[in-house]
């Protein structure tokens, strides 16, 4: 849904710029807000459904680099 809204907003901005020679400045702000909402809502949905990106990958990279003093990161259950 956010993708369709972004496509519609940007399509409107492009049409207004080339057909009417006026660019609606509010399209940029609305596009940024919609993308921010999509990121946060998508992250929450992924966290709830399970396939979120785990921090364990990055901790494993640090541990392999010689930082074995760090405690393991475990998710709250």
At residue 69, what are phi and psi to the nearest 5 degrees? -75, -15
Distance (Å, whole) CA 72 – CA 10: 45
Q: Is the pLDDT of residue 66 over 60?
A: no
Please give the structure tokens belonging to residue 57. 């990958």
> Mapping DSSP to helix (H, G, I), strand (E, B) and coil, where does residue 52 land?
coil
Its pTM stands at 0.55
Average per-residue pLDDT in the chain? 80
Model confidence at 75: pLDDT above 60:
yes
Q: Is the pLDDT of residue 71 over 70?
A: no
Per-residue pLDDT at 15 exceeds 90: yes
- Predicted local confidence at residue 36, as pLDDT: 92
Provide the pLDDT for residue 52.
59
Report the C-alpha gap between 12 and 8 in whole angstroms. 6
């Amino acid at each position: 849904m956010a993708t369709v809204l972004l496509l519609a907003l940007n399509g409107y901005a492009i049409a207004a710029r080339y057909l009417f020679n006026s660019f609606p400045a509010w399209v940029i702000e609305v596009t940024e807000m919609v993308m921010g909402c999509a990121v946060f809502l998508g992250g929450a949905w992924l966290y709830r459904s399970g396939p979120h990106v785990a921090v364990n990958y990055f901790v494993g990279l640090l541990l392999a680099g010689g930082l074995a003093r760090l405690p393991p990161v475990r998710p709250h259950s």
